[in-house]
A and B are shown apart, each in its own frame.
Chain A
Amino acid sequence: MKKHLSGQIAIMLVSLVLGLMLATQFKNVQNVGGNVSLQRAQELTSQIQKLTQDISSQDDIITGLEQRISEYENAALDEGKLNDTIYKDLERSRVLAGLVELEGPGVIVTVNVVPVNDWAGEQTIVRNVYHDDLLMLVNELNAAGAEAISINNERLVATTEIRNAGDYIVINTNRYSVPYEIKALGNPDTLEASLKLLGGVADTLGEELEIKIRHEDKIRLPKYNGPLQYQYALPVQ
């Protein structure tokens, strides 16, 4: 009788432990099935955001296209008018491509080196201006809604590079050196405020370079003078 009892207790204990293990494991597995990583949700949210933005801007574009089509339809009967419509279209694209001079309010930022005397009393500079500095300034102006930008009379277009080459900086394949003059069209207050943000670009660069920002009601921006032809890229048919 006593032996029988101890056997039952042993089985009970084993079953208890096994039961607990199974319960814990099932709970874990359930967790995995029921929950998903937050990263996946963030990814989806950002994809949805992008789609929503694309859709709203596409709506605008389609409205614009419809307007152009009606212009064409009105002009279709009249050859001279058709010519005008196409010419107007070309002009509009030329403005967007940076092939037309622009004028408007904005800011002019001049970037120059700061002269100092070194240990021997000889004149030198704190440091030269590098392409990162100009890239940062241009990017900040873009973020503040600049409509068009030029550096030392090189209009910045979609393919414009700003790259170090020794003591020079190459912009649109032409070489430039200090001082650099960045002209940006847009809301002058917004443009200036974005640069002069506490700890912003002007503060950061201002420690080692001379940064001057001034408003102007009428700034004239040059047009892009580089090559127009594409060698590799073709319009998608």
Chain B
Amino acid sequence: MTGALLRGKVHKFGDDISTDLIIPGRYARLRSNLPELAKHVLEDADPDFVNRVRPGDFVVGGDNFGQGSSREHAPLVIKMAGVSAILAKSVARIFFRNAINQGLPVLICDTDRLADGDELEIDLLGGTVKDVTNGAVLTFGKMPQVMVNILNEGGLIPYIRKHGDLKL
């Protein structure tokens, strides 16, 4: 996978973080102005997130992260904030696929063991998350090869631009 080793801090969120909490419909007017839209990422879940997040950091959720709308703007604005991966106990289906299509890794693991502000080292190829702050080591499962291929090209659109077609 791309960028095999990731380092950054945990920004911890709870269960059921919906796409409305990630980027609400009231900002739909900004959807053709992505830099402005991205200023509101996760605003209704944590108004200060956009000021605290640093390039490389991780968004960490609980169960059912990304439930709701199919708006691909949701993973897109998280990626634009500089986040290098999303970690959650479980992720809603459409959001998961959208994140991969945006070239943003989504790792399913036991996030109860990660606390807000912890430093993580993630080995994408090895499938491990090391919490440098508390010493915990977590593993995450493999995703289907077609998704790995899409992620390796930086997302679905770059993949199609390069290959011109979709293959399993």
Partners in one complex: no
Interface residues, chain A, CB within 8 Å of chain B? Answer: none
